[in-house]
Amino acid sequence: MPDSTRLTPLAVMLLATLREGDMHPYEMLRLLRDRRDDRLVPLQKGTTYHTIARLERDGLIAEVGVDREGNRPERTTYTLLDAGRDAVEAWVRAELPQIDRPSDFRVALAEAHNLDRDDVVALLDRRRELLVASLAEHRAGLARARERAVARQYMVEVERQAALLDAELAWQDALHRSLTDGTLPWGVDGPSHPERFRVSKETPA
């Protein structure tokens, strides 16, 4: 099986849509756009179709049918293979604990619901250790700078990063509590949104 860590964030999100059911590329693209996932990854038609072709070539998805409506071009429908499902989970497990790839972390967080609650808690625990260490390093650096009477204008970026790390820790600790005390529905206990499954039939962009 291809190395899941080499998947692009777009590839992960396309694979994740197929966990909801078989779809053709246009439908996947429309679904991601309707959910405003263009906040996380660029959603361009050419790149999307190229990525889907690569996922099929790598044995992560498979063609299950071709249909045509009126004079529209044929649409190939794809299904998610077990290797594709495993690849999504492996990628999320690899990226969710990280703090040095913010854009990938956002995608991993968006797809974290594909993992069991206990797995997510454990991964976030690992991430917390990195956040705490990084915050301590920034605070120590600021303390040393003050001792050396370094002008504050040279330290504003470090101050900002320390504040962001502090806020990130507070947010993650709140998420952790809601996962561990069960107040956040998750996985099989989570909400079902069948209305999010399909998008309206519109003329392809």
Do the domain assignments include residue 70?
A: yes
Same domain, 90 and 14: yes
Task: Give the pLDDT confidence of 57-66 residue by residue, as tens digits.
Answer: 999 999 998 8
Same domain, 129 and 166: yes
For residue 192, being part of any structural domain is answered with no
- The neighbouring-strand residues paired with 75 are 67
- Please tell me the predicted confidence (pLDDT) of residue 65: 86
| Structure tokens that stand for 66 in this block | 């071709």
Q: Are residues 23 and 88 in the same domain?
A: yes
Residue 201 within a domain: no
- The answer to whether the pTM exceeds 0.75 is yes
pLDDT at 67 (0 to 100)? 78
Three-state DSSP string of the chain: CCCHHHCCHHHHHHHHHHCCCCECHHHHHHHHHHCCHHHCCCCCHHHHHHHHHHHHHCCCEEEEEEECCCCCCCEEEEEECHHHHHHHHHHHHHHCCCCCCHHHHHHHHHCHHHCCHHHHHHHHHHHHHHHHHHHHHHHHHHHHHHHCCCCHHHCHHHHHHHHHHHHHHHHHHHHHHHHHCCCCCCHHHCCCCHHHCCCCCCCCC
Question: Do 89 and 30 share a structural domain?
Answer: yes
Residue 107 is assigned to a structural domain of this protein? no
With 50 as the cut, is the pLDDT of residue 198 above it? no
The answer to whether residue 90 sits within a structural domain is yes
Q: How far is residue 192's CA from residue 3's CA, in Å, rounded to a whole number?
A: 31
pLDDT averaged over the chain? 89
Domain of 131? 116-186
Identify whether 197 is part of a domain: no
pLDDT tens, 18-77?
999 999 999 999 999 999 999 999 999 999 999 999 999 999 999 998 876 656 677 899
Whether 135 and 86 map to the same domain: the answer is no
Same domain, 80 and 157: no
Considering the domain architecture, whether residues 90 and 120 belong to the same structural domain is answered as no
Is 103 contained in some domain?
Answer: no
pLDDT value of position 203:
42
Mean pLDDT to the nearest integer, 127-155: 97
Domain containing residue 12: CATH number: 1.10.10.10
Q: Count structural domains, the chain.
A: 2
Are 57 and 136 members of one domain? Answer: no
Whether residue 110 is contained in a domain is answered as: no
Which pLDDT belongs to residue 3?
Answer: 58
